[in-house]
């Protein structure tokens, strides 16, 4: 993780950083309302107002439960840094409870059953990493329990990784079968209770109750609250509940001098990390181009960007996913075709790409060091 102040400290001193939540916007005055405090309803919160000339909304998304009962209360998520500690604690507590001799075998099986909901890249990669933890480390720490730990991946569609090539989907499902990861496709979670989840098969229509010890929800994203706050200012134009509707210049429709990018937007591009990265680079270049012509300051940025730049066009760099067992899959563009590969070598390529995409040499060295320590000494599930 790279602290924001480390990033802005290497750049212009004109940058100001506020750790706060933006709770409202006045588009007429071009003014934002910021709330500083741990909880928005806290009496100790302090409100601050700041003005803007141009506004870029890049707030990302948050987990989407699709209104499934019990998910918020009982599931772990994969969005925030705090989620890591929560997952570690759940897994550690489940293993420690399962080690007691005075519990029933049924209860032990429940505690050692780990369920991942969502068969996209996030869910697949987490299931793969979870398998590695069991095979490489828990098998040495708790050998009497490691062989009893089960992983189940639940996906509502017919296959996992629906955006990948069919050959890679087949390869992933084959590797999961070999490593003992149970796949439940065409399966939707209906509700989550404290110790069980109820799933429904879309083909047979049957419902099944599945006991679990740890459940991790990676089944999709939705817009954060500020996106809905901004949408409410122009409800006639911003009609999508999924996020902010933008055009090919990343302008938020129905507003003036407001742009948006990443997972909080609705556009013809998929909500992918590389889309958001390219959008950010494109928009920064567009602003720099606009800033060169200071004689046109009287023209709004929303109008000026049309004359100074070309529309944003996303160029796919391919798709990568780690599937466990030091194997990965990749779909890479090559002229007008795609190269699909999978296996141990692809895992090396995946790691190299991850290091390349990090924001600084400091972060790259830190991650590489962590991987080296893991290879020499194993993982840890110690809780912060």
Q: Cα–Cα distance between 36 and 48 in angstroms, integer?
A: 8
pLDDT greater than 60 at residue 269? yes
Instruction: Provide the pairing of β-strand 214-217 with 21-26.
Output: unpaired
Digit-coded pLDDT (tens) for 296-310 = 555 677 788 888 899
pLDDT digits (tens, 9 = 90+) for 222-258: 999 999 999 999 999 999 999 999 999 999 999 999 9
Residue 41 pLDDT: 54
The predicted pLDDT at position 80 comes to 87
> What is the gyration radius of the CA atoms in the chain, in angstroms?
23
The listed range with the strongest mean pLDDT (17-21, 120-124, 331-335) is 120-124
Task: Please check the confidence at residue 114 and state whether its pLDDT lies above 70.
Answer: yes
Residue 7 pLDDT greater than 80, yes or no? no
Mean of pLDDT values over 100-111: 96
Interior angle at CA 139, CA 137 and CA 142, nearest 5: 100
Q: What is the pLDDT of residues 189-201, one digit of tens each?
A: 999 999 999 999 9
Question: Residue 10's CB: how many other CB atoms inside 10 A?
Answer: 9
Helix (H, G, I), strand (E, B) or coil at 210: strand
Q: What average pLDDT score do residues 145-155 get?
A: 97
Give the per-residue SS3 of 220-269: CEEECHHHHHHHCCCCCCCCCCCCEEECCCCEECCCCCEEECHHHEECCC
Asked whether the predicted pLDDT for residue 119 surpasses 80, the reply is yes
What is the share, in percent, of the chain residues with pLDDT greater than 90? 76
Q: How confident is the model at residue 295 (pLDDT cuts 50, 70, 90)?
A: low
Model pLDDT for residues 11-70, shown as the tens digit of each residue = 767 888 999 999 999 999 999 999 986 555 555 567 899 999 999 999 999 999 999 999
Per-residue pLDDT at 83 exceeds 80? yes
pLDDT (average), residues 203-217: 96
Confidence of residue 290 (pLDDT cuts 50, 70, 90): confident
Question: Mean pLDDT, to the nearest integer, of 149-159?
Answer: 97
pLDDT score recorded for residue 265: 96
pTM recorded for the entire structure: 0.90
The whole-number pLDDT of residue 39 equals 57
Model confidence at 5, pLDDT cuts 50, 70, 90, reads: confident
State yes or no: pLDDT of 133 exceeds 70.
yes
Q: How confident is the model at residue 280 (pLDDT cuts 50, 70, 90)?
A: very high
Q: Is the pLDDT of residue 171 over 90?
A: yes
Q: For residues 305-327, give the mean pLDDT.
A: 92
* pLDDT attached to residue 147: 93
pLDDT in tens, 344-354: 999 999 999 99
Query: Residue 162: is its pLDDT beyond 80?
Result: yes
According to DSSP, the β-strands at 46-51 and 31-36 are antiparallel
pLDDT for residue 308 = 84
Is 151 exposed, middle or buried (CB count within 10 Å of its CB: 0-12, 13-18, 19+)? buried
Model confidence at 94: pLDDT above 90: yes
Closest listed residue to residue 25, CA positions, set 53, 62, 50: 50
Report the C-alpha gap between 96 and 145 in whole angstroms.
10
Output the average pLDDT for the chain: 91
Instruction: Specify whether the CB–CB gap between 129 and 370 falls below 8 A.
Output: no
């Amino acid at each position: 993780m790279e602290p924001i102040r480390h990033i802005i400290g290497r750049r212009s001193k004109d940058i100001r950083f506020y750790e706060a939540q933006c709770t409202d916007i006045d588009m007429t005055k071009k003014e934002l309302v910021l709330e500083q405090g741990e909880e928005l309803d806290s009496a100790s919160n302090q409100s601050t107002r700041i003005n803007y000339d141009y506004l870029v909304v890049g707030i990302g998304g948050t987990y989407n439960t699709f209104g499934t009962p019990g998910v918020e209360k009982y599931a772990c998520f994969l969005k925030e840094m705090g989620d890591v500690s929560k997952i570690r604690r759940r897994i550690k507590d489940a293993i420690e409870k399962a080690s007691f001799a005075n519990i029933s075998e049924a209860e032990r099986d429940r505690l050692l059953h780990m369920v991942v909901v969502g068969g996209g890249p996030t869910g697949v990669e987490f299931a793969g990493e979870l398998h590695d933890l069991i095979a490489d480390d828990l098998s040495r720490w708790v050998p009497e329990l490691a062989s009893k730990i089960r992983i189940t991946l639940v996906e509502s569609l017919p296959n996992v990784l629906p955006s990948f090539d069919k050959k890679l989907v087949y390869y992933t499902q084959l590797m999961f079968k070999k490593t003992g990861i149970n796949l439940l496709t065409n399966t939707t979670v209906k509700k989550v209770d404290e110790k069980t989840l109820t799933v429904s098969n879309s083909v047979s229509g049957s419902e099944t109750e599945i006991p679990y010890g740890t459940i991790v929800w990676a089944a999709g994203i939705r817009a954060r609250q500020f996106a809905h706050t901004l949408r409410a200012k122009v409800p006639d134009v911003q009609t999508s509940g999924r996020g902010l509707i933008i055009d090919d210049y990343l302008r938020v429709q129905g507003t003036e001098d407001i742009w948006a990018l990443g997972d909080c937007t609705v556009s013809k591009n998929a909500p992918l990390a590389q889309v958001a990265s390219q959008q950010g680079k494109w928009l920064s270049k567009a602003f720099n181009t606009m800033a060169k012509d200071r004689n046109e300051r009287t023209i709004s940025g929303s109008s000026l960007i049309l004359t100074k730049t070309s529309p944003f066009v996303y160029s796919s760099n391919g798709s990568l996913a780690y599937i466990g067992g030091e194997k990965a899959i990749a779909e890479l563009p090559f002229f007008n075709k795609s190269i699909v590969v999978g296996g141990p070598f692809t895992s090396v390529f995946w790691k190299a790409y991850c290091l390349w995409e990090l924001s600084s040499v400091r972060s790259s060295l830190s991650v590489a060091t962590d991987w080296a320590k893991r290879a020499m000494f194993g993982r840890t599930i110690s809780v912060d």
